[in-house]
Amino acid sequence: MEIVYFAGGCLWGVQAFIKTLPGVTFTEAGRANGTSHTLEGDYDGYAECVKTGFDPTVVTIRELMGYFFEIIDPYSLNKQGQDVGEKYRTGVYSEKQEHLKEAKAFISERNDYDLIVVEVLPLTNYVRSAEEHQDRLARCPNDYCHIPEAILNRYK
């Protein structure tokens, strides 16, 4: 199993979508690349993300990127749906250089690559979100989600 981190706006919908994908073995809501190692205190530059465990013999990083691009607006900086702010930026983070190389290749091979504002960076810090954010849409299906329900359930 390998791990990659996807930031696609509010993590509730991102987690609900990613956990339905083939080859994904687990998900966890969290914060990527902030400066703090705690949930306490002022905003520290993190992006809301979903820690994604996957089986690389079933799904590749490029395939995961294709799925990810189904749920984000890759041209929108610090905004997805009604969620606005730096913590809602889009990004892909990993501790494995090969993951970052594949994610960058996926983007650079697109015709619109020069318009895409999705970060692809090494993971420098990760903090697990509070329990209330874990699998939030499964527990509170009427909460706001920027991803249309038809897309959220596409791979169930």
- Which positions are catalytic? 10
Task: Please tell me the distance from the alpha carbon of residue 40 to that of residue 57, in angstroms, as a whole number.
Answer: 38
Q: How far apart are the first and last CA of the chain?
A: 21
Task: Please tell me the distance from the alpha carbon of residue 89 to that of residue 85, in angstroms, as a whole number.
Answer: 7
Local structure of residue 91 (DSSP, 8 states): E
Place of tokens 């995961």: 64
